Structure 1
Amino acid sequence: MKSQDNIERILIAVEDSPYSDQAIRYGVMLAKKMGSQIAMVHADEIPVSTPYIADPMLSETPLMIPEMIEIQEEASKNLFKRIVEQYGEGIMITKFIRVGRAQDEILAVADEYNADLIILGTHGRTGLDHFISGSVSASVAKRARCPVLIIPKKEA
């Protein structure tokens, strides 16, 4: 576990969701108050193990996985552009775009970045939905080498 004397480096896990936006707002506010550096990580998971993505029942044109990865990369860049425009005034944000399981990539970037704190949002899934999709936030919290702050789902 890292020293609790000072939080110099905050890693915020981001995705394109309201849950992530809550985590970003909190992380940026905390970083500004503490004078911390901020990094953000977005992980794109490859959705299937076959080289094609299409639904033959809908007569869709197959999409090759390399094309899908390019589309996901572009979406990640657009996500970071929106985040910087919306939250980045007066702060520098280091950005990491990774391909792989979200929890594995968040933890790998936390180690690479030497994060003192990881912040991420949670969808608040329970029951069968939680069992099927798992919980990225719970997995990160169990395996992280630094403290993890999980921002809960809040109804508007």
Structure 2
Amino acid sequence: MIKPLFQRVVVGYNGSRSSLHTVLYAILMAKVYKCAVKVVSVVDIASIKYLTLQKFMVSQEGESIAKSLESDSEKNLDYVTDLAKSKGVKIETEIRKGAVWSEIITAADEFKADLILLGGAKNLDHLSSLSRDVISSQDSEIIGSAHCSVMVVREPYVEQKFKLV
């Protein structure tokens, strides 16, 4: 018998609509395909350190922002855990600190993931060019450096499908 293409899936979640859609997709995958899912939220300490070193903020401000981001991550992961429970699916969650792309890859390696899911925001026009560049850069780094397959989720009706299952 052939081994399934994926048994362990990692999803990065940052609270955005696109990443929420990706988490919903992963929960549906877990329900349908019986795969294990781990949702990872990364507190981007690397960017905070960079901004502090460049004198865009003082270190106390950076520490305050990091604590706030960690608190947001905890709430976000509690929310997705509840979503998974609502579908009878158990997921793992983890908060990591560092560069987003690096931590997602490390989490996938440690989880022995077969697949990393990324959110595929179709329209980034509402974001500043800097934000678009950061998102592109992080996704490119994950795609180029991952040791497993990477899939971009662009399911327009995932919320409706989630409600039906």
The TM-score bracket by the shorter chain reads 0.7 to 0.9
TM-score scaled by structure 1?
0.78
Q: C-alpha distance in 2, partners of 1:71/1:5?
A: 42
Structure 2: 5+ residue stretches without partners? 160-165
Q: Does 1:72 align with 2:69?
A: yes
SS of equivalent residue, structure 2 residue 89: coil
Which of 145, 150, 153 is 1:151 aligned to?
153
How do residues 9-24 of structure 1 correspond to structure 2 at under 5 angstroms?
A: 9-24=8-23
Q: Does 1:25 align with 2:27?
A: no
| Contact map agreement 2:120 2:152 (CA 8 A) in 1 | yes
Read off the aligned partner of 1:81 and give its amino acid letter.
D
Corresponding residue of 2:84: 87
TM-score scaled by structure 2?
0.74
Q: Would the alpha carbon gap of residues 97 and 40 (structure 1) be closer, same or farther in structure 2, given more than 3 Å must change?
A: same
How do residues 77-156 of structure 1 correspond to structure 2 at under 5 angstroms?
A: 77-89=74-86, 90-124=88-122, 125=124, 129=130, 132-135=133-136, 136-152=138-154, 154=156
Read off the aligned partner of 1:29 and give its amino acid letter.
L
Q: C-alpha distance in 1, partners of 2:118/2:57?
A: 29
| Contact map agreement 2:13 2:40 (CA 8 A) in 1 | yes
Give structure 1 regions of 4+ aligned residues with deviation exceeding 6 angstroms: none
Looking at secondary structure, tell me which structure has more helix per residue. 2
Structure 1: 5+ residue stretches without partners? 55-61
Corresponding residue of 1:58: none
Corresponding residue of 1:57: none
Q: C-alpha distance in 2, partners of 1:72/1:8?
A: 30
Read off the aligned partner of 1:42 and give its amino acid letter.
S
Tell me how large the CA RMSD over aligned residues is: 2.8
Structure 1 vs Structure 2: percent identity of aligned residues? Answer: 21
SS of equivalent residue, structure 1 residue 70: helix
Q: Does 1:49 align with 2:52?
A: yes
